[in-house]
Amino acid sequence: MGIARHSPLGSGSSARSSGGGAGADGSWPAPLDQWLVAHGGVVNGVQLRQVLYPSGATDRLLVATRDLAPGDLLISVPSPLQLRYDNIEAAAEAAADGGGIEGPCPEQGPAAGEAAALSIPPAEAAALVKLYEQMPRGSDTGAPAWQFKQALTILYHLSRGAASPLQPYLAQLPGLAPGVPTPRVAMLMYDDAVDELQYGALVQDIRNQKYWLRHVGCQLMPRLTGGGQQAEGEPQPGTCTNPFGGLEVDEELFGWAAAVAMSRCFGLSRGPRPTHTCVPLVDMANHVAPREAANAEIRSGSDGEVAMYAKKQIRAGEEVSLTYGTHDNHNLLLSYGFTLQPNPYDGFFFDLNMETIESLVEGQGGDPTTGGLADWQRELISQKLGLALGGEGGADGGAESIRVYLSGVVAEAPPAIAVPAGAEVAAGSSAAVPVARTAAEAPATSTPTSAAAVAAGPVRQPVDPRLLAALRIGTLQDRAWEKLLAGRSVDQIGAWGSLLARQQEITIMQLLAALASALYSSFPTTIQQDRQLLSSASLDVAAAAAAVTLTTKSASPGPPSPSTSAGAPPSSSSSSSGGSGSSAAREWPMHPSRPGQLCSAAVGKAATGFDPAAAAAAAHARDAAEAVRFRLGLKTTLERSLQAVVARAKELDALKQIR
Ligand SMILES: C[S@@+](CC[C@H](N)C(=O)[O-])C[C@H]1O[C@@H](n2cnc3c(N)ncnc32)[C@H](O)[C@@H]1O
């Protein structure tokens, strides 16, 4: 997976002749820090560093160049220097209003002078916005999915070559920067590696994303911007003007752009409309967890600038890190293409409905005649968990099932920091406010029914409070509890540290131990086998990664001619043959019933200038290793959860003996 590294960005000489992007020493493109400072940004005490891991993999990160104190401003990036779709929308609106404004924010103080240089031709902005509107809609908002809009925006800037004022930034994007491969976000993983994840919920999300990627890259884009067949209910062929000049956007190129958008964007909910933005240099900071481990944070200003501040004392040479949110490994893999081992936010999620609760508690309380739940218990559980009474959602307003977790984490988090990542930027507030990445928010947001798991905070309790509440209600012998529990919240009833009666709690811990064991046994491989696999030659990522040379596709747009100046659209003649190249899930459209077929056009394209077999083998090996790491992490989580419930049962039993 890769795209032409040099051509779409233009040659050094032509870029210099177009007036932008050269560094102080004449190097091209200019280092990001120099470029930012030259255009009204701030870079203070941090620098971009390239690192080569022993495995042979290359990565970039930010390091402190001197000692930094909490509150120090490290980087500030004005809106016109960011790659964001709302800048395009603003340019299109201004043009439609007859203002003829070419820059995204032309009247904003010191940035005003820059705006002209950062101009976006109104006709192109309008064409791009028209394309945005045709994108599939996220199942959460009903609006065009932001990942697609941002992908189109990246491709647009890429297609402008040296005419794009963001060229020094584009040159640093993974897949374009020398030696830095495209992040292997889950939707770009090989199918056999996806199967090896052994986790249905994630596999389903990945298949959904793969479907939409294929649909947009192979069918929708060619149809919208060129010819192609018109499907029923779809827009007419050639409905939109092609804003990409000669850059041929196929599935592979669109996938690259979407992966870049997902893995690098910050969500902003301030200002007139929520948006997403790629922030040069700031987006080089890597992710750490838990939240408290990050030594820097991001804040957005009301005029669209995004700034990074030190949150703690940072010593010279130390890595400057952010937290992308309270992501479990499911969301990290979907949106960023990596997992954390261990990940304090990880959990084993599964769907819980009334039937499952009934079978879990069977014979442990409730209705003495049937051994199942009594009607009052079913009603109380339904009310507290928002679950449908009879297992079928809809009729009584309850959900058919809710997604709950088992986690290996024993410590409980202070509630003060239990903030869903999606709520990080308060719309309309006057002061600068913290921002978090929103490509994938808090883990549980991949399902609409899992908000309580998010609210459980950055460090989960070993058992989802809703599951524990259901078991506590379901194992009651005595209806006398009903009134008391009716007045309590689900978090109170399901709090790990509380209990109703000691013997009942011991029974519940035994039920949970049996559940965790059953879930663990449902995996085809064991922890030991996975560990062995990871250390085996067949998953030797080091060897494979060392063999990677950046994938470079053939037939990409040629270098822009010297006459291509800032503001001028790339002409199709200058790029003749065309280059090609949980919230996370809710943000995507729902999967239609019939998945699409693989697009032969994208798959069959030849690549030159590198060894495609070696690159594919390396990518395949990385995917396979990540899949095994992912499932190993899940099993470890289940194992820890099992240990936590067994330990608690023993503790309670010991207390009973003493008494
Ligand atoms: C916003 S970028 C950070 C800069 C990135 N390292 C680069 O070189 O472009 C996010 C990407 O960095 C990598 N990354 C960030 N944090 C990581 C971590 N803790 N472990 C492994 N990879 C990480 C992943 O590839 C992810 O998709």
Distance, CA of 610 to CA of 509 (rounded, Å):
56
All residues at 6 or more sequence positions from 654 whose CB lies less than 8 Å from its CB, including other chains: none
Can you tell me which atom of ligand 1 is nearest the CA of 61? Answer: 6
Classify domain 18-341+550-614 at the CATH superfamily level.
set domain protein methyltransferase, domain 1 (3.90.1410.10)
CA atoms within 13 A on the CB side of 132: 22
| CB 3, CB 176: distance < 8 Å | yes
Distance, CA of 74 to CA of 308 (rounded, Å):
5
Distance, CA of 576 to CA of 247 (rounded, Å):
8
For ligand 1, mutation pick of 338, 340, 629 (most atoms within 8 Å of CB):
338
Name the burial class of residue 573, with classes exposed (0-12), middle (13-18) and buried (19+) by CB atoms within 10 angstroms of its CB.
exposed
Can you tell me which atom of ligand 1 is nearest the CA of 180? Answer: 8
pLDDT at res. 410: 61
* Beta-strand runs (E) in 346-469: 348-352, 402-406, 433-435
Distance, CA of 659 to CA of 522 (rounded, Å):
39
pLDDT at res. 84: 94
Distance, CA of 156 to CA of 158 (rounded, Å):
5
DSSP 221-272: HHHHHS--PPPTTSPPTT-S--TTTT----HHHHHHHHHHHHHHEEEE--SS
At 57, list the tokens: 């993999």
Ligand 1 centre from 501 Cα, in Å? 47
pLDDT at res. 620: 87
Helix, strand, or coil here: 314?
strand
Residue 283 near ligand 1, beta carbon < 6 Å: yes
| CB 282, CB 46: distance < 8 Å | no
At 222, list the tokens: 């060619």
| CB 452, CB 349: distance < 8 Å | no
The count of residues in the chain is: 659
Ligand 1 centre from 470 Cα, in Å? 39
At 493, list the tokens: 């009833």
Q: Name the architecture of domain 348-421+449-530+633-658.
A: Alpha-Beta Complex (3.90)
pLDDT at res. 622: 87
Can you tell me which atom of ligand 1 is nearest the CA of 185? Answer: 27
Q: Residue 301 to residues 311, 321, 425, 434, 435: CA-CA distances in angstroms?
A: 17, 20, 10, 10, 10
Measured by CA distance, the residue closest to atom 3 of ligand 1 is: 284
* Beta-strand runs (E) in 409-469: 433-435
Residue 319 near ligand 1, beta carbon < 6 Å: no
Residue 286 near ligand 1, beta carbon < 6 Å: yes
pLDDT at res. 475: 93
Q: Are strands 402-406 and 306-310 parallel, antiparallel or unpaired?
A: unpaired
Residue 174 near ligand 1, beta carbon < 6 Å: yes
What is the value of ipTM here, to two decimals? 0.99
pLDDT at res. 56: 67
pLDDT at res. 658: 61
Look at residues 327, 349, 347 and name the one whose alpha carbon lies nearest to residue 338: 327
Q: Are strands 319-322 and 58-64 parallel, antiparallel or unpaired?
A: antiparallel
Residue 336 near ligand 1, beta carbon < 6 Å: yes
Q: Where in the chain is the domain with CATH 3.90.1420.10?
A: 348-421+449-530+633-658
pLDDT at res. 602: 30
Mean pLDDT by 10 residues, the chain (659 residues): 37 40 71 94 96 77 98 96 93 72 36 48 90 91 93 94 90 90 93 93 94 91 69 57 85 94 91 87 96 95 93 98 94 95 90 92 76 89 90 68 85 34 29 47 27 42 94 91 92 93 94 95 93 74 40 28 26 27 61 36 37 79 91 94 94 78
Distance, CA of 19 to CA of 31 (rounded, Å):
15
Ligand 1 centre from 46 Cα, in Å? 17
All residues at 6 or more sequence positions from 398 whose CB lies less than 8 Å from its CB, including other chains: 382, 385, 386, 387, 388, 389
Q: Where in the chain is the domain with CATH 3.90.1410.10?
A: 18-341+550-614
Distance, CA of 295 to CA of 314 (rounded, Å):
7
Please work out, in degrees rounded to the nearest 5, the angle formed at the alpha carbon of residue 105 by the alpha carbons of 103 and 106: 65
